[in-house]
Structures are given as structure tokens and as C-alpha cells.
Amino acid sequence: MNLTDRPRRLRADGIRSLVSETDLSASDLIAPVFVDATTEERIPIESMPGQERVPVSEAVARVEEVRETGVEAVMLFGIPESKDERGTRAWAEDGVVQEATRRVTEATDAYVITDVCLCEYTSHGHCGVVEEHAETDPTLTVKNDETLDLLTRTAVSHAEAGADMVAPSSMTDGMVGAIREGLDDSGREDVPIMSYAAKYESAFYGPFRDAADGAPAFGDRRHYQMDPANAREAMREVASDVEQGADVLMVKPALAYLDVVRAVREGFDHPVAAYNVSGEYAMLHAAADNGWLDLEEAAAESLLSMKRAGADLILTYFAEDVAASL
């Protein structure tokens, strides 16, 4: 054989790492933190091994644990002490995320991002104000424009509590523009928006709904979250959010949607985030528990694939474990 091209030459020890095309670092990762106003102690999340809900009094300690691994950013999710049809605790000055944000920003150097949605706060578990008779009529859904005001109030309340960035996740048409206007009008024009720009109605969210107590009491979210079959629609969604002022563009979920991550990366100059969701996390743990794969290696490879596809930032429950191993 007379081969002029032998790719294996660059796979030898010493050169292999020098020609590696993609790097993963702790600064790429964002760790979700669940803060629960209904408890005074940490509560393990059974469907998400290694994850837990923490009381407001433990929020600072939990974030400090994240920072010790080298992860610089957290995203706060809240479980309120009470719920109602409109999710009014979402924008309360003394709400769970607002109080946790104040404590964490005052006591740590973590970059604090807050999830802006209503599903954890509404008694029906939907991401906004539902239409009349929606409980019994599967053709009805969330009132889009009425929900925008509530999302804006929530985002502004998070910013006023000290959030470094807000992340609207409800897939409500116009949410980025409404929140951008609200932040600007309140003197928070420097607070960026990470939009859940392409968020699909996915089967991979199950464990999260246990963690955040946000499962719909009736129906589903197909009328406002995207159809998993659609990729071109994702580009329209992302373009709309860019026009409205989104600073960071998120694709959720990540592993089953790497084609969308790549398309967003190639189509837009904005930073791209990928959400390595709860079901993706739980399934690797389940396989590892059965001895079918090495958890640490599989987790790192999964996150590397998201980075290779074009994600600049990765929101993941593996953040601490992977960061500690880098």
C-alpha cells in the first residue's frame, strides 16, 4: 500500500490532544438549582439521582458547592409556598426565586440566571393564563397576550432582586420583546435575556416536572411548545427572538436536537445554549446503574457532542460532576 493520507498519525499519544477540535471547560456549563419554599431541609429528587431541592436558607450553600467545582453560573428554579390560577407568586417581591437571588448574589460570585415561566406557580401547571374551559376542552390552551404581562412582571422582579440574566422559557409568542421592554422601562437595560428560543414538546422533560412540581394538571403543552418533527420552524422561532432582542439563544432539549443546535449556530452570530434536560440525565444514570455504560465517560461525551454541534453554553445537571473531572 502506498497511502499518502494516514489519519491515524494524528491519533497517537502526545499529538491527539494537540489536534483536538473541541474543548469542554467548566466555564461552558450552567448548573440548575432548585429552591423550594415549602421545605426546611434538602430533599433528594428521586428521578434525578444526585439532584435535590434546597430550602431558601440553603440556597447560598448549594451555589457555593457548585462554585467549588469551577462552574461559574447557576440557573435558579423555584417551588413556591402556594399556587393560584395566574401564578401570582412568580413575581412576588418575597417570592422564592427573588429571595434566593438576593441571597446568592449578595453572598457569592456566581453568575445568576433565573428561569422565567409560570408553570411552577400556577395551580394548573400550564405556562400562562389558560383559556376558559381549557380543563375540559383539549382544543383550548394558554392565552398568549395576557400571559406576556405576567412574564414581564416576573422577569423584572427577578432583575430587581439582582439576577444577572433572565431566561424566559414559556414559548409564548412575543415574550422576548415584552420582557426586553419591561426591563428597559424599569432601568434594567443591562440585564441580558437568554431565550428558550427553540423549546420542543418533549418526552425527555418528565423528571424535571417532578423536581419543579410543574406538570400540567390537565392536557399537555403541544399548543405552545414546538413539534419535535420541525426544524425549519425552529429557525423562524429563533429569528423572531433575535428581532425582539434576545441575547442568548437556547435549544431545548439538546441530545435529540443536535441538528437544531447546529442550524442555530450556523444561522446566527448570537451565543447558543443547549439544555441537557432531565430525561437525558436520568437515562444515563439508569443505564449506568445497570452496568451498561460508564456514567462519567458517557456524561462527558454527551456534553462534548453538544459543544461540537455548536453550543457555547450548556445547561446541565452533570455540570458539577463533569467540571470536577476536567
Domains contained in the chain, number: 1
Does 252 participate in catalysis according to the annotation? yes
Q: What CATH number is given to the structural domain containing 233?
A: 3.20.20.70
Rounded to whole angstroms, the Cα distance separating 295 from 308 reads 20
Residue 139 inside a domain? The answer is: yes
The annotation status of 224 as a binding-site residue, yes or no, is no
The annotation status of 221 as a binding-site residue, yes or no, is yes
Tell me, what's the pLDDT at 100? 98
The annotation status of 209 as a binding-site residue, yes or no, is yes
Range of the structural domain that residue 169 is part of: 23-325
CA 172 to chain centre: 16
Residue 6 inside a domain? The answer is: no
Residue 273 DSSP label? E
Return the bridge partners of 53, or none.
Answer: 34, 43
The annotation status of 278 as a binding-site residue, yes or no, is yes
How much is the pTM?
Answer: 0.93
Residue 175 inside a domain? The answer is: yes
CA 34, 40, 41 angle in degrees (round to 5)? Answer: 70
Residue 221 inside a domain? The answer is: yes
Residue 235 inside a domain? The answer is: yes
Tell me the pLDDT tens digit for each residue of 224-270: 789 999 999 999 999 999 999 999 999 999 999 999 999 999 999 99
Tell me, what's the pLDDT at 85? 84
Q: Which of 83, 143, 199, 307 is catalytic?
A: 199
Which grid coordinates are listed for 155?
422577569
Tell me, what's the pLDDT at 223? 73
Which grid coordinates are listed for 80?
413556591
The annotation status of 117 as a binding-site residue, yes or no, is yes
Tell me, what's the pLDDT at 139? 66
Rounded to whole angstroms, the Cα distance separating 275 from 249 reads 11
Residue 133 inside a domain? The answer is: yes
Q: Which of 83, 143, 252, 307 is catalytic?
A: 252
Residue 114 inside a domain? The answer is: yes
Tell me, what's the pLDDT at 212? 60
Tell me, what's the pLDDT at 215? 64
Tell me, what's the pLDDT at 224? 73
CA 167 to chain centre: 8
Tell me, what's the pLDDT at 206? 81
**Burial class of residue 65 (count of CB atoms within 10 Å of its CB; 0-12, 13-18, 19+):** middle
Does 199 participate in catalysis according to the annotation? yes
Residues of the chain with pLDDT under 50: none
Residue 233 inside a domain? The answer is: yes
